Amino acid sequence: MDAAFTVEELEFQREVQEFLEAEFPKDIRAKVAQKKHLDKEDYVRWQKILYKKGWAAPNWPVEHGGTGWTPVQKYIFAQEMAKVGAMEPVAFGMKMVAPVIYTYGSEEQKQRFLPDILASNVWWCQGYSEPNAGSDLASLKTTAVRDGDHYVVNGTKTWNTLGQYADWIFCLVRTDSTVKKQEGISFLLIDMKTPGIKLSPIYLIDGTPEVNEVYFEDVRVPVENLIGEENKGWTYAKVLLTHERTNIAGVPRSKTRLAKLKELAARTPDGNGGMMIDDPVFAKKIAETEIQVLALEYAELRTLAAVSTGKAPGPESSILKIVGTEATQYLDELFMELASLHGLPFVPEQFQDGFDGEVVGDDAAAATALTYFNNRKQSIFGGSNEIQKNIISKAVLGL
């Protein structure tokens, strides 16, 4: 057992730092620091820089363009990225559908889809949840009926994140309604330009149209877009969800935010002549969060070390999802508490690029409440934290 970095690992860390310093675009870095709204172009531009370096998909198998890094290298990479605010790739292509394609897809599908995902030429989105299939995802009702060389898809998907940018959507569809609900589901890849697909934005309480409802009306999908076998989609989906869960833990980001919180607390007046960092009540909260994130970090390292490249982690990844999202949400609360009254103003324009009006209060206070509201989604999506506890109860504890 050894938790210290080796000489090679420290060398790697320096390499990552130098790369980020030189290549992470300054304008995007500034937008992130100012919590400005990032658009599609920002994500794609940065992702293409990573692609050019060969670092676009650290988690992929080497034969498809992965880096072949050790778990520790991946951890170092994620941590250094978070330190400078460099965005993780949007998960849907790189981290969600790609593992399904390289694990269960045909040779032809791998050739067709993976290179464009790796190079960020194609933006993917997810079609899982439905209005009546949330936590009970397997009860989904969107149908795909075989008609010659096509499936004809009908139904509604919801909580579709950033579908407005997407070129392709991966969907769970029902191909057999006569069997147990998990056994009649298939995994389909659908071109968003296919006639019959309509998107309708859902506004969240922070004012952003971050998610959509997606309607499918007689959408014809070629059968070669089916992943693996018909009616085996649930198995593939579960694998994808464990990948998603591990991604959600967000330890590097939480560590970066903790450092930011301390820095802010050191320059935020406590109202009585001192600074918040010296306020015993607030300092205790920071310390408790730091301890929790440290425990989470080592839980994540243990999980990462246990899985070999490209394989999905086991059901214990649910721990990472639960604790990671709760840590994020608790940090949101602390930022909001620190902001005090200046957390209340809601001026969405100031997060748009090019805004040159007067900012209300401290930059750091703006958006703290909105972030708190928006991140309540974290304990809901990716399989709600209640569902994760069901998984632990059943799959880990055997209850």
Partner 1 sequence: MDFSYSDEQQMLQDSVQKFVQRHYSFDDRRELLESEQGFSAENWKLFAELGWLTVPFKVEDDGFGGLATDLMVLMEEFGKAMVVEPFVANAVLGGGLLSELGSAEQKAEYLPKIMEGGLQLAAAITEAGARNNLANISCSASKLGDGYELNGEKIVVLNGPAAELLVVSARTGGEQLDETGISLFLVDANAEGVKKHSYTNIDGHRAAEISFDKVKLAQSALLGGEGEAYATLVSVADKATLAVCSEAVGAMDALLQKTVEYAKTRKQFGTAIGSFQALQHRMADMFIECQLARSITIMAAMKLDGDEDETAKQKAVSAAKARVGKAIRTVGQEAVQLHGGIGITDELDVGHLFKRVTAIETMFGNTDFHTKRFAAL
How far is CA 150 from its chain centroid? 31
Please provide residue 227's backbone torsions phi and psi, each rounded to the nearest 5 degrees. -90, 130
Instruction: Please give the residues from 294 up to 323 whose contact with partner 1 meets the rule CB under 8 A.
Output: none
Contact between 377 and partner 1 per CB under 8 A: yes
Measured N-to-C along each axis, helices 26-33 and 40-53 cross at an angle, to the nearest 10 degrees, of 130
Contact between 287 and partner 1 per CB under 8 A: no
- Are the beta carbons of 330 and 379 closer than 8 angstroms? no
Site string for partner 1, 245-284 (x = CB under 8 A): -----------------------xxxxxx-------xx--
Contact between 343 and partner 1 per CB under 8 A: yes
The CA distance from 229 to 104, in Å, is: 9
The CA distance from 49 to 358, in Å, is: 34
Among the listed ranges 6-14, 32-40, 294-302, 332-340, the one in contact with partner 1 (CB under 8 A) is 332-340
The CA distance from 367 to 255, in Å, is: 19
Contact between 325 and partner 1 per CB under 8 A: no
Contact between 396 and partner 1 per CB under 8 A: no
Q: Which tokens belong to 241? A: 């969800």
Contact between 13 and partner 1 per CB under 8 A: no
Contact between 394 and partner 1 per CB under 8 A: no
Among the listed ranges 67-75, 116-124, 229-237, 372-380, the one in contact with partner 1 (CB under 8 A) is 372-380
Instruction: Please give the residues from 123 up to 142 whose contact with partner 1 meets the rule CB under 8 A.
Output: 129, 132-136, 139
The CA distance from 251 to 289, in Å, is: 12
Among the listed ranges 28-36, 92-100, 142-150, 343-351, the one in contact with partner 1 (CB under 8 A) is 343-351
- Are the beta carbons of 160 and 213 closer than 8 angstroms? yes
Q: Is 310 helix (H, G, I), strand (E, B) or coil?
A: coil
Q: How far is the CB of 315 from partner 1 (least distance, A)?
A: 18
Q: Which residue do the tokens 């330009």 mark?
A: 193
Q: Is 376 helix (H, G, I), strand (E, B) or coil?
A: helix
Q: How far is the CB of 204 from partner 1 (least distance, A)?
A: 5
244 as an active site residue: the answer is yes
Nearest CB to partner 1, comparing residues 223 and 283: 283
**Amino acid at site 118:** L
The CA distance from 326 to 273, in Å, is: 32
Contact between 66 and partner 1 per CB under 8 A: no
Give the pairing type, strands 185-191 and 143-147.
Answer: unpaired
Instruction: Please give the residues from 148 up to 167 whose contact with partner 1 meets the rule CB under 8 A.
Output: 158-159
Residue from 244, 288, 300, 349 carrying the catalytic annotation = 244
The CA distance from 70 to 339, in Å, is: 40
Q: Which tokens belong to 368? A: 């703290």
- Are the beta carbons of 289 and 258 closer than 8 angstroms? yes
Strands (E), 9-50: none
Q: Which tokens belong to 261? A: 């919180």
Computed on alpha carbons and rounded to an integer, the radius of gyration of the chain in Å comes to 22
Nearest CB to partner 1, comparing residues 52 and 267: 267
Q: How far is the CB of 367 from partner 1 (least distance, A)?
A: 10
Nearest CB to partner 1, comparing residues 117 and 211: 211
Nearest CB to partner 1, comparing residues 46 and 282: 282
Nearest CB to partner 1, comparing residues 62 and 344: 344
Q: Is 34 helix (H, G, I), strand (E, B) or coil?
A: coil
**Member of 1, 358, 397, 398 binding partner 1 (CB under 8 A):** 358
Contact between 200 and partner 1 per CB under 8 A: no
- Are the beta carbons of 76 and 9 closer than 8 angstroms? yes
Contacts 24+ apart (CB under 8 A), 347-350: 348/207
Contact between 392 and partner 1 per CB under 8 A: no
Among the listed ranges 90-98, 163-171, 316-324, 365-373, the one in contact with partner 1 (CB under 8 A) is 365-373
Contact between 231 and partner 1 per CB under 8 A: no
| Chain contacts with partner 1 (rule: CB under 8 A) | 129, 132-136, 139, 158-159, 202-205, 207, 211, 268-273, 281-282, 333, 336-337, 340-347, 358, 360-361, 369-370, 372-374, 376-377, 379-381, 384-386, 389
Catalytic residues: 244
